[in-house]
Amino acid sequence: MKMKKLVSHIFFLTTFGIIFSACTPNLGSSSLRGSNTNTQNISGANLGIGQGYVLADTPLDITGNYLLDPNTDLNSLLTPATITNNGFLTGGASPCSGALPCFDVLANQTSLSALQSADGKWAYNYNTPEFLQVNTFFHMTKILDQFFINLSNSRTLSTQYDSAIPLNIFFRTIPLHAYADCNFADNANFDPSKFSLCFGYLTGNKNIKFAQDNTIIYHEVGHYLQNLQFNLRNAAAVIKPEINYGFYSESGSIGEGLSDFYSYYVNGRPRIGEWATGRTLNASRPISESDNLHASGISTDPAQRLSYPQFLNYDPNNAQIPIEDIHYSGMIISHYLVALSEDFITTCGMTKPAATAKVIHLLSETLAEIGDMSSTATNAGGLGKINLNAVDSKDWLRVSNPMTFRSFAQTFAKNLFQNMNQLPGCNGIAYGQDKIETLLDDYGLLLFRSYNQNRNYADPVTRPNTLVMASNRKKSTLISKNLIKLDPTPGASAAFVIDGQDQITNGVASLQSLGIILSNLSQTPAGFPFNNGNGRVSPGEVVAIGLNLYNDSNAIMGGIQVLANDWNHIDPTGRPYIFDQWPLAAEGGTPAPAPSVAAAKVAPFTIPAEELSPVCLIQSKALNGSSTQWMTQKAYRQIVAVDQTMCLDTANDKDCFIRAVKGVEQSTYSKLAPKSNWGQTMMDPQTKAAYSLSWSNVILFQVSKHIPPGTVVNCRLRVRFSNCEDCYHDQTSATPGGPLTRPGYDYKDIYYNDADPFKIVSLQFSVID
């Protein structure tokens, strides 16, 4: 009986405890936490209502001591600041209606509410979760207030010309949640699907939290702001575009560079991450060449800027070792934007806040235009001006024509020209084309021939397309697409194959959990039992293939992209077009349409299903038994009489036997040094150690177990790079050999479904069991 009562009491106590702890608002506590136990307690006695204590900058920058002990009592560095008069740490619009943005700050994902102040003040010791929340709130308020005032001004400004910024901006009807004390090791993140930010801690020193470093807060909020800017024109779009952070990519590099710039935008300092990533990990990043973290030979001198593509793999903390990482390659963009801000100050007499606000306006214009899913690009634009059309726009931006250093620089330059040259944006002082192009060229970003104001197809008479002055292109190098090729060195491999079970199992699981894989792979059994690790393509395998590309020019190639998505290389009867004399007519080839066919196409653009063909063809005797032919997989399926239900995609027999897995159907390489392949480019110059491949460098193929062993396959991939002379510029003529029809113009979007903008690279192999 006693036992029963005891159990009853325990039940009540437990229930009470759980409920009480769950329902009590997050009032905070003064309990200490962390490794430093000698903290001088903070008191709110001298604070007014709504005030609290914050780290106004990183501890290193407050003290000026870049060797500050990571275990220092930071309470001595806290300063009073206005936080909020709200009872909770909630900011922005109230209620959160969608008319204006709003946000709140919580301890972590399991917190029930934003932190509540018991006395209207926000005084906490630095090593408490409450301090992290207050500090995060303070710096979020700072950057968001600044940004949304600028955005409001952008809307006013955008009425003066054909702008990409819509007059009515819709904000999400929920708060942006920031979790200031996340249980994430060595990580901070922005989750756009949940609309949340998380700030974790360092495993090496748990006393250091990401939320103690204001520059990290600005950087992460910067990702949120980019998401907003990229989607300014997509209020009615079901599917939203995104910057590709999953792999190494130029769009991801630009995104990281922009986020770094957001830190400069708020605090005007030329470095990010001094405390959280820099103090113990040597992983902070400069935002200007004036920062002494840079290697020697880098300065604000025009000849010593951080230029593209030379510095794509440069980590200032370890300058001798190349690294392919979007955070470091993005420094080219952050440095350019800081240099531009400083030029606005010098040339236009702007204050620093006015100069950076102008840059943010230009970024809003640029990202809104590039991210437009409706294909209209600007408020007065018609269909087909960007990203092909409203149905295919997401895939177009993801694979066929993604944001690159070239496309970003071109669109940004167009907006710069519009705002600073054609409008009195420089306080009435001339800010000419020459100035715009000179600074872009200092950064190697003058990679385009025209500003593309008419977005490729409008009547050039009514809407001129300003050409870049060729004499301004000094550092920016354009290279012919024919100079990228498979490594011609005798004995060199054409491609690398990864087909081991462990590597593919881990890779597919990881890619799938990141939301990267867009094909249903269910035809392949779990565990990849057909993967035999023999380094060849075998029936039933999922196999990664990386090309051994070679730069045969004397300049650096940047932003190399290999595409294995469906494209227009098969005629409507199923015969492969002949490109580079392959396949011969006797082998089934048929002449490709002249470039003028694509040139004649006008918006709105649509792509008929028959103009989208998988990259891999199969060699077989024709159905009539005549000669050996190259044919589509659909034709081959009929010859070998495989039922469609046995195809990789039972609803589509176009790629019945082998297909590039959607989402992993492109590979990228940051750069290729002159006369070098990627391995040589990335090799450690001191130890000569190879830089191994990552998932951004390979394309994933799924092979049917029903493909007969010995089948010969040829996959026609398309390759281009960002500083390519003839991958983006339309050099076609109305008459063969005649004058250029559209000199200096960009290709229309529809071209990127064809061969012209690319170097075609074929991989041929037997499927061997």
Partner 1 sequence: MKKYNLFFMSLLLASLIAYFTHPQMKKIPNHVTNKSENKWKTFEKKSASRIEAHPTTETELAKGNVTRTIASVDKPQENLFYLREDRILTGENLEKYQDESVELPMLNKINTDWKEALGSELLQFQKDDTKIIVKDEQHIIKIKDNQGMYLEKVIITYFLKNGDQNSFHALVDSETGSIIDTWDRTIHEKLFKRSQRLEPTGTSNIIGR
- Among positions 221-240, residues that touch partner 1 (CB under 8 A) are 223, 227, 235-240
Residues 441, 475: contact at Cβ < 8 Å?
Answer: yes
> What is the footprint of partner 1 within residues 283-342 (CB under 8 A)?
283, 325, 327
Q: How far is the CB of 59 from partner 1 (least distance, A)?
A: 18
Q: Which of 38, 110, 296, 645 lies at the binding interface for partner 1 (CB under 8 A)?
A: 110
Residue 768 interacts with partner 1 (CB under 8 A)? yes
- Output the CA angle 568-251-604, nearest 5 degrees: 40
Per DSSP bridges, beta strands 196-199 and 176-179 are parallel
Taking the least distance from each CB to partner 1, the nearer of 107 and 445 is 107
Q: Supply φ then ψ for residue 652, to 5 degrees.
A: -150, 115
Q: What DSSP letter does each residue of 529-584 carry, written as one string?
A: TT---SSS--TT-EEEEEE-EEE-SSS-EEEEEEE-S-BS-B-TTSPBEEBTTBS-
Sign of CA dihedral 263, 264, 267, 269: positive
- Residues 16, 694: Cα–Cα separation, whole Å: 52
Instruction: Give, as one character, the DSSP assignment of residue 610.
Output: G
Contacting range for partner 1; rule: CB under 8 A; set: 6-14, 407-415, 423-431, 638-646: 6-14
Which residue in the block uniquely carries the two structure tokens 């809307």? 155
Query: Whole-angstrom Cα distance, residue 197 to residue 203?
Result: 19
Region from 53-61, 314-322, 688-696, 748-756 binding partner 1, contact rule CB under 8 A: 688-696
Examine residue 270 and say whether the peptide bond preceding it is cis (omega within 30 degrees of 0): no
What token pair was written down for 431?
Answer: 């800010």
Give the nearest distance from C-beta 718 to partner 1 in angstroms.
Answer: 13
Q: What is the C-alpha separation between 504 and 700, in angstroms, rounded?
A: 9
**Least separation, in Å, of the C-beta of 523 and partner 1?**
11
The pair phi, psi for residue 477, each rounded to 5°, is: -110, 135
Would you count residue 241 as binding partner 1 (CB under 8 A)? yes
Residue 161 makes contact with partner 1 by CB under 8 A? no
Going residue by residue from 189 to 208, which x/- string records binding to partner 1, judged by CB under 8 A? Answer: xxxxxxxx-----x------
Interacting positions 567-596 with partner 1 (CB under 8 A): 580, 582
Among the listed residues 48, 460, 464, 535, the single contact to partner 1 using CB under 8 A: 535
Strand extents, DSSP E, 221-353: 271-272, 285-286
Q: What are the C-alpha distances in Å from 206 to residues 111, 125, 547?
A: 21, 16, 42
Q: Which stretch binds partner 1 (CB under 8 A): 33-41, 74-82, 748-756, 760-768?
A: 760-768
Out of 292, 462, 522, 626, the only residue in the binding site for partner 1 (CB under 8 A) is: 522
Q: Could you say whether residue 546 binds partner 1 (CB under 8 A)? A: yes
Stretch that binds partner 1, among 34-42, 360-368, 511-519, 560-568 (CB under 8 A): 511-519
Q: Does 610 bind partner 1 (CB under 8 A)?
A: no
Q: Write out 3-23 in H/E/C secondary structure.
A: HHHHHHHHHHHHHHHHHHHHH
By CB under 8 A, is residue 527 in contact with partner 1?
A: yes
The one among 72, 646, 762, 769 contacting partner 1 by CB under 8 A: 762
- For residue 550, list its beta bridge partners: 485, 677
Distances (CA, A) of 39 to 64, 181, 382: 21, 19, 63
The nearest distance, CB 22 to partner 1, in angstroms, is 7
Tokens of 298: 């880098």
Stretch that binds partner 1, among 7-15, 158-166, 475-483, 748-756 (CB under 8 A): 7-15
| Strand segments (E) across 443-507 | 484-486, 495-498
Q: Among residues 27, 99, 391, 594, which is the contact residue for partner 1, using CB under 8 A?
A: 391
| Residues between 113 and 142 with contacts to partner 1, criterion CB under 8 A | 113-114
Segment interacting with partner 1, rule: CB under 8 A, options 19-27, 142-150, 422-430, 748-756: 19-27
Contacting partner 1 within 469-488 (CB under 8 A): 486
Per CB under 8 A, contacts with partner 1 among 418-477 are none
Of the candidate spans 128-136, 172-180, 429-437, 570-578, the one that interacts with partner 1 by CB under 8 A turns out to be 172-180
At closest approach, how far in Å is the CB of 436 from partner 1?
31
